[in-house]
Amino acid sequence: MPTITDEQREASRLYKEGHPASVCSCGHTGDGANSGHAGIFPCAGHGHCLIPGCSCGKFRWERFREPYMVKVGIHP
């Protein structure tokens, strides 16, 4: 597994403040602003899906979104 640099970690943090980065196994976004999942704790992501018609009861991490990977230098 590749090691993430401090620069990539900082880019990740800044990007996630404005964009959801992860995708749930239900197909909707997870953490970050405009997340498709409600937070159980005072942070976005992790809880039940907010998308109408989706019955996902808990965020189940599947993958990162491609724009996030490109932004932090992890190419799909």
CA separation, residue 60 to residues 3, 6, 47, 75 (Å)? 24, 27, 9, 22
Per the CB < 8 A criterion, the answer to whether 36 and 56 are in contact is: no
Q: What is the pLDDT of residues 5-27, one digit of tens each?
A: 888 888 877 777 777 888 899 98
Q: Domain residue spans in the chain?
A: 6-71
**Confidence (pLDDT) at 40:** 64
The predicted-structure confidence for 33-64, as pLDDT tens digits, reads as follows: 778 888 766 555 578 888 999 988 888 888 88
User: What's the first-to-final CA gap in the chain, in angstroms?
Assistant: 14
Query: pTM of the predicted model, to two decimals?
Result: 0.65
The whole-number pLDDT of residue 76 equals: 61
Does residue 9 contact residue 51 with C-beta atoms inside 8 Å? no
